Chain A
Amino acid sequence: MTADDILLSDLERDALTEIVNIGVSRAASNLRKMVGEQVLLSVPAIEIVSQPRAARLISEREETELVAVRQDFSGAFSGRALLIFPETKSLELVRAVTHDELSVEEVLEMEHEALAETGNVILNSCLATMANMLKRSLTMTIPEVIRGSGETLFEVIEAAPDASLVLFLYIDFTVRHRDIRGYIAMLMSLPSLAVLKELVGEFIEKVVGEDG
């Protein structure tokens, strides 16, 4: 399979951006409920790049190490979803989701599991909303907290040898009145992208059909 087989048409790209947008907005509204402050989102960036390039897209924008909550998904299409923060922001997130009610020691103690649960809520709601819109079900793994550079976070998905291309989606978000920002990212291998392209086609047909 080559990149030419799976290039998205303008309309498909537009529809996929919209689906991701709705999924991420749902996730942001959940994050807002958890931290009690408005969450601002960028427009989703959708790129077909090599896996190392995907890793660099995030890491070259960040000076510090990263912390991420990772969930793999499988079903009609499969891949990996990540909620990523610069390491310096993760404790502030934990403080926010526990409404500043915990002591410093408690925050440190809760950090790992609070990150995992926050990632679980954010990534699940985003992926589930997308799955519902595309009328396919996805199975999601239990969230895992990982730390390291961009390379560690985006370590090769087994189905995709590292020279191959991946669909890389990312959105950056910030939390108002809080020193919290990060990324929601999704990585899919090319076979998954081919299926996704088909499903997006069905979605477009349905939407256009309803109008006509």
Chain B
Amino acid sequence: MPVTVLIVDDSKLARIVATKALAELQPDWQRVEAGSAAQALEIMDSTPVDVALIDFNMTEKDGLELAAELREQHATLPIAIITANIQDEVVARARALDAAFVSKPVTAEGLQGFVSGTALRLRSRKV
């Protein structure tokens, strides 16, 4: 089964950048994009998602709130919070949700730790 990644960011540019970095690391992973938290929740209801990359700074519902909601339903879903807001509090809140923290702008290098860890976790789950 292919791995499906949900990319949530209200910026199209940011989604393009994240998609590129991800394609460099895991070209076989399929990507689904959401432009808001609400859209992300809709997708999660209808599509099996294995990994979520979530922007923090979004209108209406921010990425940490979305991650908290997803975490309630999906205890083991690998989640990365993506933001240029690298304040200690934001990093701590991501960690408390058992989410990784990836700083913007997203690069393959910056995403690598999260992606390799996730690939390992997914593989061991499927065995």
Contacts and interface: CB of A to CB of B under 8 A. Distances in A.
A34 B104 CA distance: 10
A120 B86 contact: no
A184 to B, nearest CB: 13
B13 A113 contact: yes
Q: Which interface class (under 10, 10 to 19, 20 to 34, 35 or more) fits B?
A: 20 to 34
B61 interface: no
Nearest to A140: B85
Interface in B93-111: 103-105, 107
Given A113-B12, A121-B104, A30 B89 contact: no
Task: Report whether over half of chain A's contact residues are helix, strand or loop; otherwise say mixed.
Answer: helix
Q: Which interface class (under 10, 10 to 19, 20 to 34, 35 or more) fits A?
A: 20 to 34
Contact of B104 (A30, A116, A127, A129): A30
B59 interface: yes
B68 interface: no
Given A30-B105, A120-B11, A132 B88 contact: yes
A204 interface: no
Given A125-B84, A131-B87, 10 more contacts: A33-B105, A34-B105, A110-B12, A110-B13, A113-B11, A117-B11, A124-B86, A129-B86, A132-B87, A140-B57
A128 B86 contact: yes
B49 interface: no
A156 interface: no
B13 A132 contact: no
A121 B105 contact: yes
B86 A132 contact: yes
**Closest 6 pairs (CB-CB, A-B):** A124-B84, A117-B11, A121-B84, A125-B84, A128-B87, A124-B85
